[in-house]
Structure 1
Amino acid sequence: MAKYANGHLPARDRFAHWRELLSGTHAPMTLSSERADDFLARQHVVALGEVTVWPAVFPPVTFRRTRELIRRSDPESYHLTLMLRGSGIADWRHRTLRTSPGTFHTSDSSRPVEIRSWAERGRIMMIGVEVPKAVLPLPRRLADRAVGLPVPDDQGVGALLSHTLRRLVRDLPEYRLADGPRLGEVVAGLTATVLGQVTDGESALPPHVHRETTALRVRAFVEQHLGDPDLSPALIAAAHHISTSYLHRVFRAEDVTVGTLIRQRRLRRARAELADPRWDGVPIQTIAARWCFTGAQFSRSFRTAYDMTPGEYRGLRGGDGPGV
């Protein structure tokens, strides 16, 4: 990961620095801004194999990618913007899209576009994604049709991609360098699935992308429903409109059964509460019940997973809450 900020530069040089940086991250473009005289901005560039993710914060700006710039240099990539703060209008001549928090917008480095942005609170906050066309697991004709179409980031695979990008940026220090290529494949697969859904071309995705996307969606669903005592493979399969047998096939490639995944995630939630001083006055059996365990079952599962009882774990930090 590389971090860039221009606050150390003289005010007169900051905008030019940002323009050069963005041209290297995405593609050469012309920029203009009413704040060009003192343009404070920062950006992280996260290389995930061939995919790049770049969270950034900057004042309102207008981006222009012209035919002349495309002829001069074209990295041949698709771009997604997840807008976290601010708004904008992207104009491809044949299509115009208003962007704001709640909607992804897509671009193609091979097409002219003008993007005008503004922000009531002074700065744009976004996460950009660059996926080379050569590695996107979706036929180019379908990906091209998706450029300029709105993609909600709060439902379906769009919500999953949004969650993945936000968590990736938040948890960057926890990842190893060796994790980069695999994470890049995940982001590219989710991007392809999102674009495929927008154009009704999801059936053109390779089978492994379908499986990986299904696994990610199921994991997200499990996290959201861990407190539901009825959570089961059958319920999960029905919620995702797939058969239970296909669900189990998906998770054979994940090296964990669906039932084991549910139990592991519930145990982690319970363990986190045992380690939290705010839960010291809550009996262990109450915490166990919150995560759908009986007292004896919880003790056995906890000892198997962590080589100690729940009470012993809580006692490690001197907690004096009641035991089982």
Structure 2
Amino acid sequence: MKINASKNLFMLIMMLSTIMTMSSNNMLMTWIALEINMISIMPILTKSKKSTDQPMKYFIIQSTSSSLMLMSIMLNSITEESPTSSIILMTSMLMKMGMMPFHLWFPPLMNKMTWENCLILSTIQKIPPTIIMTQMMNIKTMLIPMAISSFMGPISALKQLSMKKIMAYSSISNSTWLISSLYLSKQMFLMFFLTYSTLTMMMMSKMNKNNILYMNQVTTMSYMKKLSLSITMLSMSGMPPLLGFLPKWMILQNLIKFSTILPMMMILSSILATFIYIKMTNPMMTNLTMMKKTKKEKKSKNYETIINLLGIPMMMTLKCL
């Protein structure tokens, strides 16, 4: 989708509604900010030529979760109880984020959308529900869905061939890391979110430039592009000493003080994600490139490899400190 004035306007409204969610101290104002966020993203999804009925599916899911959130607000105001253990509120936020067991709409929706919209759904749209859950919910209430999402996300991605569905299940698994980081501290959340958004943006932009939708299409890329894509995949799974390992390592160090089961599930999910990406990179790097020898390829600088290798000096700096 081309960048125009209307898209910039809706993106600005979406960012402002996210800031409203972060700054509001009233549950009703938070609900209004979420509604504004949903209204602003709908035109961005509708303008895509590839998406036909997907924006309507997204609207139905988000409006249902908003209705559940409003119902939980009303019930809590009637009973005058704290929303920290409200199952209805937790269900609405899990539906908004697409976390398990309310995840069935998320991978098929991302599979039909453009890479730009997939990036928006995987990064920016994760912020408001994460903030609401960490501010209003107790970590003990969120423990079971977080553990299920972190472990079952990579397992569900094992049998997938579509790159968009693999990225969707990766987003479901990383949502647990996102919520855990904000439970610990705002600085850790900011570091993990920026790292995850950078890696996701690099990976999706590489797929978009090379028009890759399925795993077997990666063989048409050149060797250096395959190498940079493989390093980005391994960095997303948390392979040391790449960039994605550093925030996950810091989250696990602090999270193990509060819980033991959740860090174990998160470590197992990272191992499974690493296995998936290695399974993808094995035929990618061992097979010959399916390109004509007469075709001259334009030389491109692979900034992705350099950015991913920044994890080494960052780890050394923290070790010295």
- Normalised to the residue count of structure 1, the TM-score between the two structures is 0.32
More strand, by proportion: 1
More helix, by proportion: 2
Larger relative CO (CA 8 A, sep 6+): 1 or 2?
A: 2
- Normalised to the residue count of structure 2, the TM-score between the two structures is 0.32
Larger Rg: 1
